[in-house]
């Protein structure tokens, strides 16, 4: 292990696989992969790249040469969507034997230095979410409009699908591997950021415990956001479908 790197608490699960979904994140992954692997020599990374034209896949392969057997690249033929990318990444991660699978963004909006806090939360929970809204708003470099939209989206989802989770749309999460093996991740039908809400519904329906830790979320400094109108539209109507599923499950239990 590199002695200049922070280390994870030895009492935490040893095998951790981080899943990243990328599209045109070449410069970011060049910096992020070494930082993640520096945290502990038992961390591995799966990168799912959707045929990025900027050479992201080549950057991942270059990093893999420096960290043999710790980086896996899943190359897809086109830009197929956020949700399906994480489904593919979880599938690849679970072919191994990790104790924990972590999802995070590849643009440094999710600070890799917060990862030990998420893992520590797994001492008492099955899934831990890095929340931007626990203990106040903890977001840097967003416009007021973007902050309002994000908060409104979380309130909207919470009204339709009540839960105690403060940040239902955060993609920085740590899952015990048995959680992902138990729920039907492959059956998720959301393909934009609504995937995060759908996956959380699966976790809650499975009876698993969910915890949150506060994180500082900083807007990307390199590259461009992948948010588009179709992602926003899906995020608006998908919770209604999930609500119908929740009601249907309740009625089946009553019978």
**Residue 1, in any domain of the structure:** no
Cβ–Cβ under 8 Å, residues 208 and 175: no
**Residue 151, in any domain of the structure:** yes
CA distance 130 to 164: 14
Q: What is the pLDDT of residue 101?
A: 98
Q: What is the pLDDT of residue 4?
A: 42
Domain enclosing residue 55, as ranges: 16-254
Q: What is the 3 state secondary structure string of 184-218?
A: CHHHCCCCCCHHHHHHHHHHHHCCCCEEEEECCEE
Q: What is the pLDDT of residue 128?
A: 98
Q: What is the pLDDT of residue 148?
A: 79
Alpha carbon distances (Å) from 9 to 51, 83, 116, 117: 36, 31, 8, 10
Domain count, the chain: 1
Q: Are strands 173-176 and 100-104 parallel, antiparallel or unpaired?
A: antiparallel
**Residue 3, in any domain of the structure:** no
**Residue 11, in any domain of the structure:** no
Phi/psi of residue 106, each to 5°?
A: -95, 10
**Residue 204, in any domain of the structure:** yes
**Residue 4, in any domain of the structure:** no
**Interior/surface letters 136-157, b for 16+ CB within 10 angstroms, e for the rest:** eebbeebeeeeeeebeebbeeb
Strand partners, 48: 21, 74
Could you read off the pLDDT of 84-100 as tens digits, one per residue?
A: 999 999 999 999 989 99
**Residue 5, in any domain of the structure:** no
pLDDT < 70 stretches in the chain:
1-13, 141, 220-235, 237, 249-250
Q: What is the pLDDT of residue 240?
A: 75
Gyration radius of the chain's alpha carbons: 18
Q: What is the pLDDT of residue 73?
A: 97
The CATH number linked to 138 is 3.90.550.10
CA distance 185 to 163: 20
């Amino acid at each position: 292990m590199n002695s200049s790197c922070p280390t994870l608490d030895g009492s935490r699960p040893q095998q951790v696989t981080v899943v990243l979904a990328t599209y045109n994140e070449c410069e970011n992954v060049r910096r992020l992969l070494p930082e993640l692997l520096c945290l502990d020599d038992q961390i591995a990374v799966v990168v799912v790249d959707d045929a990025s034209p900027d050479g992201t896949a080549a950057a991942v392969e270059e990093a893999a040469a420096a960290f043999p057997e710790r980086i896996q690249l899943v190359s897809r033929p086109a830009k197929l969507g956020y949700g399906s990318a994480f489904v593919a990444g979880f599938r690849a991660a679970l072919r191994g034997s990790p104790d924990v699978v972590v999802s995070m963004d590849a643009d440094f909006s999710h600070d890799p230095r917060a990862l030990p806090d998420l893992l520590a939360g797994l001492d008492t929970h099955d899934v831990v979410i890095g929340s931007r809204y626990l203990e106040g708003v903890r977001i840097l470099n967003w416009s007021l409009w973007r902050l309002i939209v994000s908060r409104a989206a979380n309130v909207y989802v919470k009204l339709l699908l009540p839960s105690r989770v403060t940040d239902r749309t955060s993609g920085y999460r740590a899952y015990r591997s048995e959680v992902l093996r138990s729920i039907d991740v492959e059956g998720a039908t959301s393909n934009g950021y609504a995937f995060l809400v759908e996956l959380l519904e699966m976790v809650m329906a499975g009876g698993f415990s969910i915890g949150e830790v506060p994180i500082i979320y900083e807007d990307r400094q390199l590259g461009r956001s992948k948010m588009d109108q179709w992602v926003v539209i899906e995020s608006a109507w998908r919770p209604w479908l999930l609500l119908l599923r929740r009601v249907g499950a309740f009625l089946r239990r009553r019978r």
